[in-house]
């Protein structure tokens, strides 16, 4: 009988350890989302804390990425005026809630890509 008690106790300990292991959060990837305006785009990475902004058009227009971080209502932005076929990126301390690309067109209305929401 003592063996049975030890075995049951051991099984209970193993089950408890298994449940604790499942409860430990692991680094989870977020969906990679891309906002486009023509060949220009902003794209978050799988960590959800970095946005890359690409000027894919050789039209002389700069591009900007607007983004909002999780838990905030403030719209932040960064620019890419490096020139065509170049990228610029920004890393954030919190997850990106949403972002979009903006083609900055002088003396005209800017061209806004759709807001995208990494999950």
| 87 located within any domain | yes
Question: Integer distance in angstroms from the first to the last C-alpha of the chain?
Answer: 52
Indicate whether 18 belongs to any domain. Answer: no
Overall domain count for the chain: 1
Please give the torsion angle defined by the CA atoms of residues 69, 55, 116 and 28, in that order, rounded to the nearest 10 degrees: -60
Specify the pLDDT at position 28: 81
CATH number at residue 80: 2.60.40
Q: What is the pLDDT of residue 8?
A: 54
Tell me how crowded residue 109 is: count the other CB atoms within 10 A of its CB: 6
In a domain, 26, yes or no: no
Instruction: Report residues of the chain scoring pLDDT below 70.
Output: 1-27
Residue 8 lies in a domain: no
Q: Provide the residue range defining the domain that includes 95.
A: 34-112
């Amino acid at each position: 009988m003592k063996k049975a008690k030890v075995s049951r106790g051991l099984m209970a300990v193993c089950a408890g350890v298994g449940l604790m292991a499942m409860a430990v959060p692991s680094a989870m990837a977020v969906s990679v989302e891309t906002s486009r305006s023509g060949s220009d785009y902003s794209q978050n990475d799988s960590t959800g804390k970095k946005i890359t902004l690409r000027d894919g058009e050789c039209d002389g227009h700069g591009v900007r990425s607007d983004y909002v971080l999780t838990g905030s209502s403030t719209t932040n932005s960064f620019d890419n005026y490096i020139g065509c076929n170049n990228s610029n990126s920004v890393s954030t301390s919190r997850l990106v809630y949403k972002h979009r690309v903006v083609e900055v067109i002088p003396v005209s209305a800017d061209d806004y890509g759709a807001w995208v929401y990494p999950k």
